[in-house]
Amino acid sequence: MEYVQERVTTLHDLTDPTPTAPIDRAAVVVPMTEREYAGLAPDRVLSELERVDPGEVVVPLRAAPERVGPFYDWLDDFDLSLTVLWCNGPRLEALLDDHGLDGEFGKGRDVWLGLGQALDREYVVVHDADTKTYSRADVPRLLYPLAHGYDFSKGYYARVENDRLYGRLFRLFFVPLVRALSERGDASILRYLESFRYALAGEFAATTTLAEQFRPQRSWGLEIGTLGDAFDDAGFDGSAQVDLGTYEHDHRSVNGPTGLSDMSRHVGSALFRVVEEGGVDPDYDTLPDRYQAAARSLVRSYELDAGFNGLTYDRGDELDQIEAYVDAIEPPGTDRRLPPWTDAPLSPARIAAAAAEDLEAAR
């Protein structure tokens, strides 16, 4: 247990608090795919949200047509003020395509659609549905800073499970990469990113005034893109991070089309776009070597920490992952972010109408 402050205000779990927060004025956005259907972790998340009773729960759902009806019926059994948005419904896809917004599917696209449905509330909370240790205290904890003058709140937590350290993409890719970038400059955006104890956490809260300014990445770079937008519009003084304890999530393999190596390309692209916009020159010729040096130094620290806590630690496996992530270090390429809702060529109401027709037809 510690109480050290970072450059952004850091709220610690010192007494297992469930603070008073404006829950009734908030929407909670919980993106799901068909793999979450009736799962133990999503069931826990929704059951805990019943006890929280937020103003609204928005579920952006990405699923095959034949799964939408059963999925909706399962969600409807929970005692929640619920909005289900079928993100890949045919009418919604056609509407997005007509306005040049269709394209790659991914978590970021789903969250963007969900945020649009939350903008009539004062606050919005976004979190994943696969958290086995989810607590009803998470929503009020994330909202608490917003009720006290902050615009953006980011969750952080320990990823320890099965006697091992997890959070591998964050520990072995993001952290050493940002450190390597910081060796060549002292840009404010790098100091901001380094202030967050778990920058890849999917849990955050924001005022809807801020959320409507977000330009989400379409896929796994969502979390870093969100931090970049929060830096631009909230800055150090308007941002906070909140201790959510210890989290157990689903784990991914390193390789494969949805593995951590593939994810690292999306995260890297989002990171490089954010830091370049913040005035950083990554020097992509030398960055891979600088990244590897920083990452290998951290492996020594992780190994010692794991041993101190009696955890299993596979040094060789961690070093192999670093080698796999090096290929993600390249210029970000074409900017395919979605527009902020303040500049979007269609309204959330039109999105809602098309999605409602799709949902009715699928049921």
CATH number at residue 251: 3.90.550.10
- pLDDT score at 138: 97
SS3 80: coil
Residues ≥6 apart with Cβ < 8 Å to 173: 264, 267, 268, 295, 321, 322, 325, 328
Over the chain, what is the mean pLDDT?
Answer: 93
pLDDT band for 345, please (50, 70, 90 cuts): very high
- pLDDT score at 202: 92
Please indicate, yes or no, if residue 274 is contained in any of the structural domains. yes
- pLDDT score at 257: 54
Domain that holds residue 185: 9-362
pLDDT band for 342, please (50, 70, 90 cuts): very high
* Tally of CB atoms within 10 A around 330: 15
Q: What share of the chain is helix, strand, coil (3-state, %, to 5)?
A: 45, 15, 40
Domain tally, the chain: 1
pLDDT band for 261, please (50, 70, 90 cuts): confident
Pair of tokens at residue 218: 């379409």
Measured CA to CA, the distance from residue 142 to residue 144 in angstroms comes to 6
Measured CA to CA, the distance from residue 280 to residue 317 in angstroms comes to 31
Q: Specify whether the CB–CB gap between 152 and 132 falls below 8 A.
A: no
Residue 252 has pLDDT above 60, yes or no: no
What pLDDT digit, counting tens, does each position of 68-112 carry? 999 999 999 999 999 999 999 999 999 999 999 987 888 999 999
Mean per-residue pLDDT, 164-190: 93
Pair of tokens at residue 140: 């009020």
Residue 312 DSSP label? B
- pLDDT score at 161: 87
Instruction: State pTM to two decimals.
Output: 0.94
Determine what percent of the chain is predicted with pLDDT higher than 90.
85
- pLDDT score at 248: 75
- pLDDT score at 123: 98
Mean per-residue pLDDT, 331-360: 95
Please indicate, yes or no, if residue 149 is contained in any of the structural domains. yes
Tell me, what amino acid is at 165? L
Mean per-residue pLDDT, 113-136: 95
Please indicate, yes or no, if residue 290 is contained in any of the structural domains. yes
Please indicate, yes or no, if residue 3 is contained in any of the structural domains. no
pLDDT band for 251, please (50, 70, 90 cuts): low
Mean per-residue pLDDT, 308-320: 95
Pair of tokens at residue 239: 């941002």
What pLDDT digit, counting tens, does each position of 288-304 carry? 999 999 999 999 999 99
**For residues 47 and 248, which has the higher predicted lDDT (pLDDT)?**
47
Q: Specify whether the CB–CB gap between 128 and 202 falls below 8 A.
A: yes
Please indicate, yes or no, if residue 4 is contained in any of the structural domains. no
Please indicate, yes or no, if residue 1 is contained in any of the structural domains. no
- pLDDT score at 125: 98
pLDDT band for 250, please (50, 70, 90 cuts): low
- pLDDT score at 263: 86
- pLDDT score at 362: 87
CA angle (348 as vertex; 138, 21 as ends), nearest 5: 25
- pLDDT score at 105: 81
Among 158, 157, 163, CA closest to 141: 157
Mean per-residue pLDDT, 233-246: 96
Please indicate, yes or no, if residue 2 is contained in any of the structural domains. no
Pair of tokens at residue 84: 């289900």
Residue 231 has pLDDT above 90, yes or no: yes
pLDDT band for 253, please (50, 70, 90 cuts): low
